[in-house]
Amino acid sequence: MVIKISKRKNNHKNNTPKEINSLTKSSLKKNTVKIIDKDYRNSNETNEELTERIKKIVNILSSIFTLRVFEDRDPYRVLIRTILSQRTRDENTDKASATLFTKYKNIEEIANAQIEDIEELVKSAGFYRVKARRIIEVSGLLIDKYDKIVPNNLNELLELPGVGRKTANCVLVYGFQKPAIPVDTHVHRISNLWGIINTKTPEESEEELEKIVPKNLWIDLNDLMVQFGQNICKPGHMQCETCPISNLCCYFSSV
């Protein structure tokens, strides 16, 4: 496959890495919202060039990161894990999820558990009272309305208590291996920095990304971007000087 890199002026060509880094750091003293509150898109880039740039980025990220294999791809466990993952770090989610499923083996046991017990088990995930209540509610509803089977479509998933678009899309991707784009803070922030979209909310980002990212790349996109956001393009600590895709990033060209 021939990849055409979009022609853009690289304003960094005369900067040393140190200068680039300090420039980036000083920019980052503003909060992340301000950084992505700009339109970094290249108005001269055609749709074809944009698509090729996205493919090139995903190719590079795929060569750097191994897609994470979650131990359990059971849709119910993915759903519960994703509820636990809201506003916390992966390690806290892993711990809470493992503790919960060590004691309670299936949906009925969780639906019938004492809320105080679930709270205690998922404490490490933070917001444990809300999360415990949601976990019990969603489990009960799945038993009552869906015969204990997690729905495999967005609309029905969104009807479940506490399930928003990100969680629903995570269940589709990680539980059912269906193409969807879960947009978390990493995906929203980074795709705006790349200048492939210009959006204000994760919901808008999801809509715009679905228009421009080739569908065969959807399933891997969240995983790759989350790992990229955790390791290289970190919020507040972007490692632009060593970033493997800096020549494809519109933010990098703009600072």
- Which parts of 167-196 interact with ligand SF4 (CB under 6 A)? 193
b/e code 181-193 from CB counts within 10 Å (16+ = b): bbbbebbbbbbbb
CB of 207 vs ligand SF4, minimal distance in Å: 22
Q: Are 35 and 27 in contact (CB under 8 A)?
A: yes
Distance between CA 215 and CA 24 in Å, rounded?
Answer: 32
Closest CB to ligand SF4 among residues 121, 248: 248
CA-to-CA distance for 158 and 141, rounded, in angstroms? 13
Q: Is 61 in the site for ligand SF4 (CB under 6 A)?
A: no
Site for ligand SF4 contains 150 (CB under 6 A): no
Which of 54, 233 has the CB closer to ligand SF4?
A: 233
Q: Which two tokens stand for residue 219?
A: 């399933």
Please identify, using beta-carbon distances, which residue of 25 and 103 lies nearer to ligand SF4.
Answer: 25
Any contact of residue 243 with ligand SF4 (CB under 6 A)?
yes
Among the candidate windows 105-113, 121-129, 169-177, 247-255, which touches ligand SF4 by CB under 6 A?
A: 247-255
Please give the DSSP secondary-structure letter assigned to residue 124. G
User: Residue 252 CB, nearest distance to ligand SF4 (Å)?
Assistant: 4
Q: How many CB atoms lie within 10 A of CB 170?
A: 22
Encoded one letter per residue, x for contact with ligand SF4 by CB under 6 A and - for no contact, window 194-233 reads --------------------------------------xx
Q: CA 218 to CA 83: how far, in whole Å?
A: 21
Tokens of 36: 């992505």
CB of 195 to ligand SF4, least distance (A): 9
d(CA 115, CA 123): 12
Under the rule (CB under 6 A), what is the footprint of ligand SF4?
193, 232-233, 238-240, 243, 245-246, 249, 251-252
